[in-house]
Amino acid sequence: MDIKTVGVVGCGLMGSGIVELIAKHGYTVIVREINDDFLAKGLARVQGSLARAVEKNKLSAADRDATLARIKGTTQMADLANVDLAIEAAIENLDLKKSIFKDLDAITRPDVILASNTSSLAVTEMAGVTKRAPQVIGMHFFNPVPVMPLLELVRTFLTSDATLETVRAFGAGLGKKIVVAKDAPGFIVNALLVPYLLDAVRMYENGFATKEDIDTGIQLGLNHPMGPLTLLDFVGLDTTLFIADAVFADIKDARWSAPALLRRMVAAGYNGRKSGKGFYDYGK
């Protein structure tokens, strides 16, 4: 399939990174948000990221301008009618994602592949609301999208070989290393990561060690770039709680049961770096 124009639904933290990455690689990108305010914030995030790349001499000013010229923002789903590939990048809410897939199925050409950037939710359920289940696949990018080298493709039992190979080639063309997972809770990365993060919260909650010693122990003892509580602040405590609750509701595995401390921190607005406070204070 010849992909020239890509539609992205959602211009939040992940969506804006996907938009930037794809536009950098020469594709026209149409990004849709639910209102003008969210759209403006998302596009400003793209502009800021590109500006920092120019400042660090990782991107020329001419390439920055060309990238921005390839991006069109909209609040109308109908503007994605003529895209060659559509990627949903909304929040981790299955009902919302299914609604988006239903809309995309109605407005795009029958041959267009529909992909979800979900990090944990059932891609098969999204495919089930469409009339093109063989052309539905998961494309799980990692934050920050322009920097992280991995793209996790999620194949349902209905996804066709042609769809998988088309998306594999597209992802490789974006400079990503591809791994393929079946549509099981958490896929590869989060199936291993999230229970580990929840265990770290439980360890801290139970007074096993200080947060600093937990992070330092893992960082230096296992040669990780950051400890689990620092990583939780980076990923977002709310995002992690969304994923844990969604998987626990699906499979009822105690490893995915969110600790009370995590739930209370999210309720208090302690979501990590993006809110200024999480396990650590980022106010300064």
Q: Looking at the annotation, which residues are catalytic?
A: 119, 140, 152, 190
Collect contacts of 129-134 with beta carbons under 8 A, ≥24 apart: 129/98, 129/101, 129/102, 129/105, 130/101, 130/102, 130/104, 130/105, 131/105, 132/105, 133/158, 133/159, 134/158, 134/159, 134/160, 134/162, 134/163
207 Ramachandran zone, left/alpha/beta (phi>0; psi -120 to 50) = left
- Token readout for 195 is 């229970």
Q: Terminal CA-to-CA distance of the chain, rounded, Å?
A: 48
Q: Residue 72's Cα: distance from chain center in Å?
A: 20
